[in-house]
Amino acid sequence: MRKGILFIISGPAGSGKGTVVKELISSHSDIALSVSATTRQPRPGEEHGVHYFFITKKEFENRINSGDILEYTTYRDNYYGTPLKEVKKALDKGKDIILEIEVDGAMQVKRKIRNSVAIMLTPPDFDTLESRLRGRGTEKEEDIVWRLNRAKEEIQLLPKYDYSVINENGKARECADMVYNIIKAEHQKTKNTKKDLIKKFI
């Protein structure tokens, strides 16, 4: 059976990664999205268990201590982390799984899961990033400034990622297709095909 691969998708605020990931998941049923846990407050329209598991700081710390978190970080004074069990289950079933996480968590996963693949989505440039972030109107000015500065730090980790994909304005579909092409190509890497394929010949 084909083995699932873990894909990390990161991108600074304003990279449009949420939209791209939604496009990708909705058109490919063999790819699952990991739902993270967080201690931040839900934004309007966000649902528990769908967008995040919204839990308390105490619950989050209990989960860290019980080893149930694959990676975690603090972002804007809130914890964000990936529940381990669901990721394992999906990979064991042969599903590819996507973690939509920031750079610190991404580096933890790359260290722990050697076969994982990290993709960074970026807007075309900083000005586009800023106008997207301001345009969505979901954050206070203070949050926007914090996220803009954070974006400058995050982009410097680009060389540690395996792939970068630019998400041009209005091109989320094309960007999702590019990510899907990367996913397909990763499955064709000989490290992922050699065992089964050679067996069929000798």
Tell me how many residues contact ligand 5GP (CB under 6 A): 13
d(CA 6, CA 164): 16
Length, in residues, of the chain: 202
User: With binding defined as CB under 6 A, does residue 60 bind ligand 5GP?
Assistant: no
Q: Is 15 exposed, middle or buried (0-12, 13-18, 19+ CB in 10 A)?
A: buried
Contact in structure between 17 and 11 (CB atoms under 8 Å) = yes
User: With binding defined as CB under 6 A, does residue 81 bind ligand 5GP?
Assistant: yes
The helix (run of H) or strand (run of E) holding residue 18 is helix 17-27
User: With binding defined as CB under 6 A, does residue 82 bind ligand 5GP?
Assistant: yes
Q: Between residues 16 and 81, which has the closer beta carbon with respect to ligand 5GP?
A: 81
Q: Is 54 exposed, middle or buried (0-12, 13-18, 19+ CB in 10 A)?
A: middle
d(CA 75, CA 83): 17
* Given 100, 117, 165, 183, the residue binding ligand 5GP (CB under 6 A): 100
Q: Between residues 40 and 132, which has the closer beta carbon with respect to ligand 5GP?
A: 40
User: With binding defined as CB under 6 A, does residue 161 bind ligand 5GP?
Assistant: no
The helix (run of H) or strand (run of E) holding residue 54 is strand 53-54
User: With binding defined as CB under 6 A, does residue 7 bind ligand 5GP?
Assistant: no
| Amino acid present at 127 | D
Torsion over CA: 106, 139, 169, 153 (sign): negative
User: With binding defined as CB under 6 A, does residue 75 bind ligand 5GP?
Assistant: yes
Contacts of ligand 5GP in 164-183 (CB under 6 A): none
Q: Between residues 139 and 192, which has the closer beta carbon with respect to ligand 5GP?
A: 139
User: With binding defined as CB under 6 A, does residue 96 bind ligand 5GP?
Assistant: no
User: With binding defined as CB under 6 A, does residue 88 bind ligand 5GP?
Assistant: no
Closest chain position to ligand 5GP (CB): 105
Residues that bind ligand 5GP in the complex, under the rule CB under 6 A: 36, 40, 71, 73, 75, 80-82, 100-102, 104-105
